[in-house]
């Protein structure tokens, strides 16, 4: 039993890395949320075409496919027409930020039916095997919770805030221990992992949750410190991958750019970004040379670039009030857009040779258009 449990827990950790209140106490009031109801005319056409691809070509009865091309859905990481709570959260945020209430409501009901567990939102569902995985991913739960707060701000009606409060309280019960956040909780084994991945620490979403003041203050403070102390150096101003609580140490094999950019975005959303990080990003975006992986001393470990990388730098540009970084990032992002009008991926993002079109790339691009 112990061998089987250990293997499953280790696999669960790998799965998550791969894809990348107390009663009677006073609840704090959530800070306001900025919601963009109208997208700029400059990017509206591209956003609409991409949205059409996602809902018509990349979606099914359970949500947005992980990849356009299906598989047997039996791999260690999600593949094919498996669906992720990550995707649901990204699409819900798009609908909230663009004021599409009916679409939001339909997608939210679908997400609850597909992913909701007693302890959180399953990070993954396989339609072929009718399998809802029994663990959540903290970053994906937080994104769903934020989407509900954004829906409350955008639509002003419904039970969005009530649900956000309920799911936020649940998140605190299962993914937080001693004021510290953990990557996942496994409902089947009633356990959480022993570390936090830095890009999972969505500070703004933590701030939005309506928790008792003392709990919320401790959580936000602890997790802010965890991110900030994971800064690598001024020479290479990215962030470590994860923090291990028992050893009180940061661990990174290689630095994945998407992960560090998400960490910087979370800092920027709470006005805690480091200027060295912003300058590094701006220089690499201008050159078109922001690569997917780096060594810890800042040397490119891959020449691969991606749609999602530039989508995130666009969001960072918007958050810090840098329109040049925003526009240049979208221009870089659209270098990956398929221009073949006869292909199913036309005006979306994918590889026309391998027929791979991934949910994360396409949904991050769609969300970037709303910033």
Determine the pLDDT at residue 42.
77
**121 backbone dihedrals φ, ψ, rounded to 5°:** -100, 125
Question: Tokens representing 269?
Answer: 């959303």
Determine the pLDDT at residue 16.
52
Determine the pLDDT at residue 43.
87
Per-residue pLDDT at 2 exceeds 50: no
Per-residue pLDDT at 3 exceeds 80: no
Q: How confident is the model at residue 157 (pLDDT cuts 50, 70, 90)?
A: confident
Per-residue pLDDT at 205 exceeds 80: yes
Residue 126 CB-half CA count within 13 A: 17
Q: What percent of the chain has pLDDT over 70?
A: 89
Query: What does the mean pLDDT of the chain come to?
Result: 91
Question: Of 112, 114, 203, 125, nearest to 164 (Cα)?
Answer: 112
Q: How confident is the model at residue 90 (pLDDT cuts 50, 70, 90)?
A: very high
Q: How confident is the model at residue 158 (pLDDT cuts 50, 70, 90)?
A: confident
Q: Beta strand 195-197 with 242-244: parallel, antiparallel or unpaired?
A: antiparallel
Would you say the pTM of this structure is higher than 0.85?
yes
What is the arithmetic mean of pLDDT over 271-285? 98
Q: How confident is the model at residue 232 (pLDDT cuts 50, 70, 90)?
A: very high
């Amino acid at each position: 039993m112990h061998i089987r449990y250990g293997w499953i827990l280790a696999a669960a950790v790998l799965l998550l890395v791969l894809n990348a209140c107390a009663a009677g106490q006073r609840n704090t009031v959530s800070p306001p949320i900025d919601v963009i109801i109208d997208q700029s005319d400059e990017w509206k056409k591209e956003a609409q075409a991409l949205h059409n691809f996602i809902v018509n070509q990349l979606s099914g009865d359970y949500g947005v496919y992980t990849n356009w091309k299906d598989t047997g859905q039996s791999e260690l990481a999600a593949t094919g027409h498996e669906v992720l709570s990550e995707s649901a959260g990204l699409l819900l945020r798009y609908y909230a930020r663009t004021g599409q209430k009916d679409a939001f409501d339909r997608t939210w009901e679908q997400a609850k039916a597909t992913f909701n567990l007693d302890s959180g939102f399953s990070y993954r569902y396989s339609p072929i095997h009718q399998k809802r995985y029994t663990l959540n991913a903290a970053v994906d739960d937080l994104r769903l919770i934020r989407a509900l707060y954004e829906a409350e701000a955008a639509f002003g009606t419904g039970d969005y805030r009530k649900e956000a409060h309920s799911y936020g309280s649940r998140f605190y019960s299962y993914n937080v221990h001693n004021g510290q956040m953990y990557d996942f909780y496994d409902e089947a084994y009633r356990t959480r992992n022993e570390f936090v991945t830095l890009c999972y620490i969505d500070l703004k979403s933590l701030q939005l949750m309506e928790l008792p003041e003392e709990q919320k203050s401790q959580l936000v403070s602890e997790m802010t410190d965890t991110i900030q102390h994971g800064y690598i150096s001024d020479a290479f101003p990215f962030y470590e991958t994860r923090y291990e609580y028992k050893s009180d140490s940061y661990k990174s094999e290689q630095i994945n750019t998407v992960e560090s950019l998400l960490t910087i975005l979370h800092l920027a959303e709470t006005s805690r970004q480091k200027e060295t990080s912003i300058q590094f990003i701006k220089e690499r975006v201008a050159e078109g040379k922001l690569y997917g992986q780096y060594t810890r001393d800042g040397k490119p470990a891959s020449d691969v670039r991606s749609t999602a990388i530039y989508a995130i730098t666009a969001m960072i540009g918007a958050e810090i009030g840098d329109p040049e970084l925003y526009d240049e990032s979208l221009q870089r992002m659209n270098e990956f857009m398929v221009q073949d009008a006869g292909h199913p991926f036309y005006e979306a993002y994918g590889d026309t040779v391998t027929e791979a079109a991934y949910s994360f790339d396409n949904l991050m691009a769609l969300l970037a258009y709303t910033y």
